Every structure is written in structure tokens, then in C-alpha cells.
Amino acid sequence: MYNYRVSGLSVISEMELPGAIGIANGDAPDVTVRFGRVPQQLSAPSASGPAWQREGDTILLCVPRLARFLITGGKSIVVELEDAATARDASGFVLGSSLGILLHQRGALVLHGAAVARDGRGIVICGHSGAGKSTLAAALCRIGCSFVTDDICAVSMNTSHEPIVLPDGRQLKLWEQSIRSLELGHRQGDAVRETFEKYFVAPDITVSEPPRLSAIYLLSESQPPFAEGIEALALPDAVRMLEHEAYRPGLRRQLNSTSQMLAQVAATLRYVRVFRLTRPLGFERIAATVDAVMQHWQEL
């Protein structure tokens, strides 16, 4: 059995989860991951999509030629591998889609983004796949920011009802080109998946206590009509952005009521401002982007 802390939760797993940071065996875990029999379909699903079904507090997630995952009640993930599939490749879907669904089941606001912190304050960087979220987070960490989370960003509330980002306890996941451009080869670890040129990268500094969320930046490419820079989103646009940038937003709508989702967003936007960060793709101006973000963040 392996013990981890992921997105603020203690996880005990029969499966090794590469990229997650191990912890000592402690009290009763929040989440269990185990191998077991998983049905091809649920007996009486109330909703379904191309690769998932829902029945009550259970989600069945099917990844063709890899594995089926049964995520129940925000507490357990059962995995059944397909023939010839490896536990290593399946582990990415445990720490990815399965965990994101489980966090939705637990009522967290889960964003598809990366987060870093400085002086107890955190920012989340959102954007579509390939937008450069992890690369920008890694670049910010190179100049002294602390790493909080990558890919899955769970936002909760502290005792003062302020939004905080739950530390993920994992490593950055970067493509080979990003590793070379940021000169992080000395921190490069194993491949995220056996067939990918994407690798785990150990950050310089991580956080153990959840930072207070101060801003969310939505990455956008600088092409007409958007010029390079940072602009605040109006409140209606910020609300839509948080809905669109949720991790697996279609499943989130299945697992949370409209009133729950609006309450999450309202509680977050009471303290957090949302901005569009427009910059050129590529690495030529990554240093300028980092400088712009740091200056803007410090002025908030």
C-alpha cells in the first residue's frame, strides 16, 4: 500500500501513483484507491456521456484499451485494467480525471489550472490544454515562487471563509521543449506516461499550508483582437470563466446543482479578481510574461 497527500486529501492506494508525493502512514485516509472488478456499465444510470455514466453518487469512467474507473462518494476509486494495459499508464487517469471527479463529489471548486504562491498568497493560471499553464508556473517557480499544484486546482474555504488553494503535493508535468527552454533538465524525472514526451519535474520550493487565493489569470494568445497585456474581466465574464475553466465542466454540472455552483463562484469572487493574461505563445518572451505577472500580482 502507498500513502500520499493529494489536493489536501490523504490517499491510500494499492497502485503506485508516480508524481504524487508520499507521506507517512497516518490516520484513516480520506480516499482509497484499489484494484477490483468494475462493470462495463452501471445498472440504472441517470446520466451518461461518451466515456462516463452516473448513478447516484457513483461515476463510471471508461478509457478505451486502458482501464475502467469507479469513483464513489468522494471517497473511493476502484480500477480495473484492460488486457495489456499497465498500472503506470492508468495511474495518470487516477490522478487526473478520477481525482477531479472525486473532488467535485466532495463539493470543491475544481479548476483546470496550475497554481503558485508567494508570501502566503496564491494565484491560479487557467487556460485550454496546451496554453502553457504548467510552463508559466514552472517559470514563476524559477524566480522564487512556491509550487502549489498542476493540472487540477482545488479551491476551498478557510475558517475565515476566504478561498484557499489546496496544496497538491505533486510535481510539475512539462513537455521536453519546456524543460529545455527553462533549463530544468537537472530536475527532470520519469515520463508521465510511457508513450509521452512529458515528464515530471520537481519544483524548487513547495508549500505545505494552503495559500489564500488572490487572483486567477486566464491565458490567451496575443493575436487580434487581443494585444499583449493583462486586463481585468468584468464580473459576468469572470463567472462564465470559472464555469468554463472547471475541471471536466460537463461532469461538474452533473455532480453539483446550479445553486451549489453559483455559491462556489460567488464565495470565490468575493475575494478573488480574475484577469485575462494575453501573451505570445512560445518561449521568446517568457521572461517578459513572468515579469508582467509578478508586477501585476504585487500591485493587487
Among 94, 93, 108, 97, CA closest to 154: 108
Give me the mean pLDDT over the 186-203 stretch: 85
Mean pLDDT of 26-36: 91
What's the pTM value of the predicted model, to 2 decimals?
Answer: 0.90
Q: Which of 239, 226, 295 is nearest to 272 (CA)?
A: 239
pLDDT digits (tens, 9 = 90+) for 232-256: 999 999 999 999 998 888 888 888 7
d(CA 300, CA 294): 10
Predicted local distance difference test score (pLDDT) of residue 227: 80
Q: Which three cell numbers stand for residue 197?
A: 514526451
Q: Give yes or no for residue 228 having a pLDDT over 90.
A: no
Q: What is the phi/psi pair of residue 279, to 5°?
A: -150, 160
What percent of the chain has pLDDT above 70? Answer: 98
| All structural domains of the chain with their residue ranges | 2-106, 110-299
pLDDT at residue 129 in the model: 83
Residues 45-101: pLDDT tens digits?
999 988 999 999 999 999 999 999 999 999 999 999 999 899 988 998 999 999 999
Q: State the pLDDT at residue 222.
A: 80
Of 59, 86, 111, the closest CA to residue 192 belongs to 86
Short-list 279, 273, 289, CA closest to 241: 273
CA 244 vs. chain centroid, Å, equals 14
Specify the amino acid at residue 89: D
pLDDT of residue 193 exceeding 80: no
Please check the confidence at residue 176 and state whether its pLDDT lies above 70.
Answer: yes
Q: pLDDT class for 195, splitting at 50, 70, 90?
A: low
DSSP, residue by residue, the chain = -EEEEETTEEEEESS--TTBPB----SS-SEEEEE----SS-SS-SEE-SSEEEETTEEEEEETTTEEEEEETTTEEEEEEPTT--HHHHHHHIIIIIHHHHHHHTT-EEEEEEEEEETTEEEEEE-STTSSHHHHHHHHHHTTPEEEESSEEEEEE-TTS-EEEPP--B-EEEEHHHHHHTT-GGGEEEESSTT-SEEEE--S-B-SSPPEEEEEEEEEE--TTPPSEEEEPPHHHHHHHHHHTBSSHHHHHHHS-HHHHHHHHHHHHTT-EEEEEEE-SSSTTHHHHHHHHHHHHHH-
Whether omega before 225 lies within 30 degrees of 0, making that bond cis, reads: yes
The CATH superfamily label for domain 110-299 reads P-loop containing nucleotide triphosphate hydrolases (3.40.50.300)
Mean confidence (pLDDT) of the chain = 91
